Structure 1
Amino acid sequence: MKNINPDDFRVIDKIELSKIPTELNIDADDDEKEEELLKIQQKLSKRQDAMYAHNRYGVLICLQGMDTSGKDSLIREVFKEFNPRGVVVHSFKTPNSTELEHDYLWRHYLALPEKGKFAVFNRTHYENVLVTRVHPEYIMFENLPGIEKVEDITPKFWENRMEQINNFEKHIANNGTLVLKFYFHMSKEEQRKRLLKRLENPEDNWKFSTGDLKERERWDDYMKYYEEAINNTSKEHAPWFIIPADDKEMARVIVAKIIWEEMQKLTDIQEPELDPKVKDNIDLYKEQLKG
């Protein structure tokens, strides 16, 4: 399989989503993709074990994308070789009454990974500059000072919110959290096919929601705000990667490879060495256990 270079997907300069392909043309069949993913899964699992023992870093994986873009299945496939103690998945839905009594980042702080662990945010703090921009009326539930009506929400409000998100990510990065953000770039046509499949296959009917169709009508708005959010928040300490998502199997390989390569940059991660006194007496302890 063609070598995957993470920098090909990293957002460094300003991007236009309409000019970025939603599928990566690569000469590999599904079996080859599955084999490649398995290799990376196993390497990631071992690396996570070492990170757990090292106990200095956490890893935050942020997944964003339109409905049906493949986030759930990617989580299931990419992390299935992990020790369950090493990864926690959080799916952020509409804020509940308790969460609305705090600032919008509060619930995300609570879900950050412990040292030695991965946290996966399936939909993330970026919903607060995506869904709320498409539906600014949702901001009214936050009871913010100076925001009495939707018309009070100015462009400066969104600039400030993205600056707050940048500060949030810089703070956690400076304190040992590796932050990696993935946007699943799917075509509108591919989404149509996947939604239709949910309706046509009885076993997938439960996945369908009429809300998906309502949000689909705002596709262009979402693309505009995704583009703006990505351009304003892709930083060296918390980069965005745009993943061509029309091919789910390939998307999983790409994301796994990027995570692996980025973790390789944490060069100080080492499994702790055995206490010299214990090491010197290993044979003695073996004999005691045999007896």
Structure 2
Amino acid sequence: MAKPRTRAPKLADWQPPAGKRAAAFSLDRLDPAAKPWSSGDKDADKTRVDALAMELDALQDQFYADRRFKLLVVLQGTDTSGKDGTLRSVFSRTSPLGVHTVGWKAPSHADKAHDYLWRIHRAMPGAGEVMIFNRSHYEDVLVPVVNHWITPAQVKQRYAQINDFERLLTETGTVILKFMLHISADEQAERLQERVDDPTKHWKFSLDDVDVRTQWADYQKAYQALLRATSTAHAPWNIVPANSKTHRNLMIATVVRDTLKNLKLRYPPSDPRLKGLKIT
């Protein structure tokens, strides 16, 4: 039997504050094992995720026809946090006609010949399109920070540049949803071990993952810093407690659904010549 909720979950509880209050934000205070969007019944939650995927398909069809907006969905998180799983579950029913995905890897030689946001800007959604980022431009204030490839002054500069870039996008019709998939170190260890133990998942595993895992604390510190610096009124971060894969999908699907519904989407006016038209 599902456990009754004591209150409806509040998205604001999972968003770092913007402005002067941001300095007080601590990622450690948010439990990656929490399930605020769950009904308490895993099977019921899975059914709800599937229903939400259907809703998203209908809303995306209207979004594509409306063409007043563009939607950028950023999925950011450590290895095994569930970016691929989110794509498979939350967006399982949407048409590839208007929904596209980019999985960002290390920059190529061509990318490095330009500023670090060059390749990102080229991948922005067009009118009526949904673009989903598996990793994102935030890698450029994570990997270089942890490995000390850029100075603190350059990090601060990049935070400001990213905020300005996202402001440009929102001021020109792009809705930005940023999700940080928050898992624990123990959960990551279990998921990495699953990849080692299952031969069908070896392609997902690299020995580099073991080296990166030794930097867990440094990455958590870098995440906290970027969440403080880049959660803005125009593009806030949503931190998703993601130890539970089902809860992760449920929360993200709900937020995307609610965002699309709040846009008051509409189909374009019908051609008056269609009234009474009979096809023979």
TM-score by length of 1: 0.88
Structure 1 position 263, deviation (Å): 1.9
2:41 is matched with which residue? 29
Query: Which amino acid in the other structure matches residue 34 of structure 2?
Result: L
Cross-structure match for 1:179: 176
1:271 aligns with 2:267: yes
Q: Which amino acid aligns with 1:20?
A: L
Aligned partner of 1:219 among 216, 231, 239: 216
Structure 1 residues 211-269: Cα deviation after superposition (integer angstroms, max 9, x where no partner)? 111110001110111001011111121110000010011100100101111222212x2
**Does 1:200 find its partner at 2:197?**
yes
Counterpart mapping for 1:74-153 below 5 A: 74-137=86-149, 153=150
Aligned residue for 2:168, secondary structure, equals helix
- Between the aligned residues of both structures, percent identity stands at 36
Secondary structure, in 3 states, of the residue corresponding to 1:56? coil
1:168 maps to 165
| Aligned partners of 1:4 and 1:257 also within 8 Å | no
Q: What is the aligned partner in structure 1 of residue 258 from structure 2?
A: 261
The alignment partner of 2:262 has SS state of coil
Contact 2:240 2:248 in 1 (8 A): yes
Q: Secondary structure at the match of 2:139?
A: helix
Q: Residue type of the partner of 1:167? A: D
| Partner in structure 1 of residue 207 of structure 2 | 210
CA contact (8 A) 1:4 1:254 kept: no
Q: Aligned residue pairs: how many?
A: 268
Q: Pick from 11, 23, 28: which aligns with 1:18? A: 28
Aligned to 1:7: 12
Pairwise CA RMSD of aligned residues?
Answer: 1.4
User: CA offset at residue 27 of structure 1?
Assistant: 4.5
SS across alignment from 1:270: coil
Distance 2:111 2:154 in 1: 20
Specify the SS of the correspondent of 1:60. Answer: strand
Q: Structure 1 residue 43 and structure 2 residue 52: aligned?
A: no
Larger radius of gyration: 1
Structure 1 gaps of 5+ residues are 138-152
**2:200 aligned partner, one-letter code:** E
SS in 2 for 1:59: strand
Shift of 1:4: 4.2
Q: Which runs of 4+ in 1 moved over 4 A?
A: 1-4
2:245 is the counterpart of 1:248: yes
> 2:64: which partner in 1?
52
Contact 1:87–1:120 at 8 Å: present in 2 too? yes
Gaps of 5+ in 2: none
Q: CA deviation at 1:107?
A: 0.3
Cα distance in 2 for partners of 1:47, 1:11 equals 28
Q: Give the Cα–Cα distance (whole angstroms) in 1 for the partners of residues 226 and 244 of structure 2.
A: 24
Q: Deviations over 1:41-94 (max 9, x none)?
A: 111111111111111111000011110011101111111110111211101111
Aligned residue in 2 for 1:142: none
Query: Normalising to structure 2: TM-score of the pair?
Result: 0.92
Residues of 1 paired with 2:121 and 2:174: CA distance?
Answer: 12
Equivalent residue of 2:97, what SS? helix
The secondary structure found in structure 2 opposite 1:274 is coil
Rounded Cα–Cα distance in structure 1 between residues aligned with 2:213 and 2:87: 23
- Does the aligned pair in 1 maintain the 2:50–2:89 contact within 8 Å? no
Conserved? CA contact 2:76–2:134, under 8 Å? yes
The answer on whether the counterparts of 1:6 and 1:257 sit within 8 Å (CA) in structure 2 is no
Distance (whole Å) between structure 2 residues aligned to residue 39 and residue 81 of structure 1: 10
